Amino acid sequence: MLFAFSVAPLGAGESVTDSVAEAVRIVRESGLPNRTDAMFTTIEGEWDECMDVIKRATEAVGAGGHRVSLVVKADIRPGRTGELDGKVERVEAALAADEAELGHS
């Protein structure tokens, strides 16, 4: 299962970098496959282990304030692993096939 989440303190001023860095540190220390971009951190694993990481990251972000914003999106595909990279690889392969087809028309 893939879980993409964004967590940030509310009322923390202009920059949330330090709080978000602490959340990402927790994710990386979890050992779960993960990727962080400008909008979300995505982790891959089973329900309980992913939700535990999201909870701990959220609690860390909230430690310095009184309110936290959390957005979570999940792709639940039991029995599948390696989807953090697999989904992207399939899209890239489809694009490459389209380009090859257009190049030979």
The band of 16, judged by pLDDT with boundaries at 50, 70 and 90, is confident
What residues contact 76, with CB distance under 8 A and at least 6 apart?
A: 1
Q: What gap in Å lies between CA 3 and CA 41, rounded to an integer? A: 8
pTM: 0.85
Tokens (6 digits) for 35: 């990727």
The band of 63, judged by pLDDT with boundaries at 50, 70 and 90, is confident
Kindly tell me if the per-residue pLDDT of 65 is higher than 90: no
Write phi, then psi, for 89 (nearest 5 degrees): -60, -40
pLDDT digits (tens, 9 = 90+) for 71-87: 999 999 988 899 999 98
Q: Which domains does the chain have, with CATH numbers?
A: 2-103 (3.30.70.930)
Predicted local distance difference test score (pLDDT) of residue 64: 67
